[in-house]
Amino acid sequence: MREGTKKTLFVFTILVFAFFYIPILVLMVFSFNDSKIGTVWTGFTFDWYIRLFSNSQIIDAAFNSLFIAIVTTVISTVLGTLAALTLHRYGFPGKRTVGFVFYIPVVIPDIVLAVALLVLYSFLNVKLGLATVIPGHVVFATSFVILVLLARLAGLDKALEEAAKDLGANEWHTFWKVTFPLIYPGILAGALLAFTISLDEFVVAFFTTGPGSNTLPVLVYSMVRRGVSPEINALSTILILAVVLVIVIVGWRMNRMNKQQGGI
């Protein structure tokens, strides 16, 4: 790159990062503001955080979200891993169609799945509650687990499995001793993706959760609709910091894993 181009791009990049981060930082700063109304700085306080932790609605919603995310992760990781291994390994009639079906959740608008599930539950007379959110989340998460794993499997050296078989290992043994350890990081990455997708998901949860069983995003939505309040700022700040923490940890672990394996 020429020096001039590089400088222009550098300034541009800084501006984009400012666009990303100024709103987030302003939001965080005002979570410490002493005034309930408006967005004028009047003084420093921790009050909003203290209130937050005594707000049972928020604590409940956080636990609801965690519960749904954990169940979604377990189901979609198992389903997705089985499907990805099959797609990678076997040729069978209808493979293209199956591959296409797994792509649908990636491109279908979330609101369409959400209202379709609402209609399904209503026909089956299923009472909406916490558990009714899980099927929709699994639909999305499974496809992403499959995508992540297929990418990982594509980089897998088939010779390793063949070597194991040549040396007399049966299929089961080959899988557990050779294939699984190799794709384990992929499964882990897929599971993490499934977990975060579910934790973050709003639209399906909004339509398919029952009264009184809010997830965190659904609760945030109803709070924000009521207007600006420093309590939302405080809650948001905690959630953003949680994201930062997870990203730093995952980034650090991946870095180490890559170094150990000499890069993927």
Partner 1 sequence: MIRNIRTAYLMLSPSLVWLLVFLVVPVGMITVISFTTNLGFGGILYEFSMEAYRLAFSSLYAKAIWQSLWWSVIATVICGIIAYPFAYFIAHAGKWKNFLLLLVMVPFWTNLLIRLYSWIILMNNQGVINNLLLKIGIIDEPITMLYTPFAIIVGLVYGFLPFMILPIYASIEQLDKTYLEAAEDLGANPVKTFLTVTLPLTFPGVLTGTIITFVPAISVFVVTDLLTGGRLLMIGNVIRDAFLVEMNWQLGSAISLLLMILVLLSIVVLIKFTSSDDDSSLL
Of the pair 60, 110, the CB lying nearest partner 1 is at: 110
Q: C-alpha angle with apex 187: 150 to 81, nearest 5 degrees?
A: 60
**CA–CA separation, 142 and 190 (whole Å):** 9
Number of residues counted as binding partner 1 (CB under 8 A)? 86
- Which residue type sits at 78? V
**Is 240 among the residues that bind partner 1 (CB under 8 A)?**
yes
In residues, how long is the chain? 264
Contact 193, 132 (CB under 8 A): no
Q: How far is the CB of 34 from partner 1 (least distance, A)?
A: 16
| Cα 137 → chain centroid | 10
Using CB under 8 A, which residues numbered 196 to 225 contact partner 1?
Answer: 196, 200, 202-203, 207, 217, 220-221, 224-225
Q: C-alpha angle with apex 221: 220 to 222, nearest 5 degrees?
A: 95
Q: How far is the CB of 203 from partner 1 (least distance, A)?
A: 8
From 7-15, 47-55, 156-164, 176-184, span contacting partner 1 (CB under 8 A): 7-15
Q: How far is the CB of 80 from partner 1 (least distance, A)?
A: 7
Using CB under 8 A, which residues numbered 64 to 93 contact partner 1?
Answer: 75, 78-80, 82-83, 85-87, 89-90, 92-93
Contacts (Cβ under 8 Å, ≥6 apart) of 106: 143, 144, 147
Q: How far is the CB of 47 from partner 1 (least distance, A)?
A: 18
Contact 254, 186 (CB under 8 A): no
> Sign of the CA dihedral 220, 225, 227, 228?
positive
Nearest to 257 by CA among 191, 181, 196: 181
Of the pair 44, 123, the CB lying nearest partner 1 is at: 123
Q: How far is the CB of 3 from partner 1 (least distance, A)?
A: 12
Of the pair 2, 127, the CB lying nearest partner 1 is at: 2
Backbone angles phi, psi at 209, to 5 degrees: -90, 150
Using CB under 8 A, which residues numbered 103 to 122 contact partner 1?
Answer: 103-113, 115-120, 122
Nearest to 163 by CA among 153, 173, 155: 173
**Is 135 among the residues that bind partner 1 (CB under 8 A)?**
yes
Q: How far is the CB of 117 from partner 1 (least distance, A)?
A: 5
CA atoms within 13 A on the CB side of 179: 22
> Among residues 160, 247, 249, 264, which is the contact residue for partner 1, using CB under 8 A?
247
Q: How far is the CB of 110 from partner 1 (least distance, A)?
A: 7
Using CB under 8 A, which residues numbered 152 to 191 contact partner 1?
Answer: none
Using CB under 8 A, which residues numbered 31 to 60 contact partner 1?
Answer: 38-40
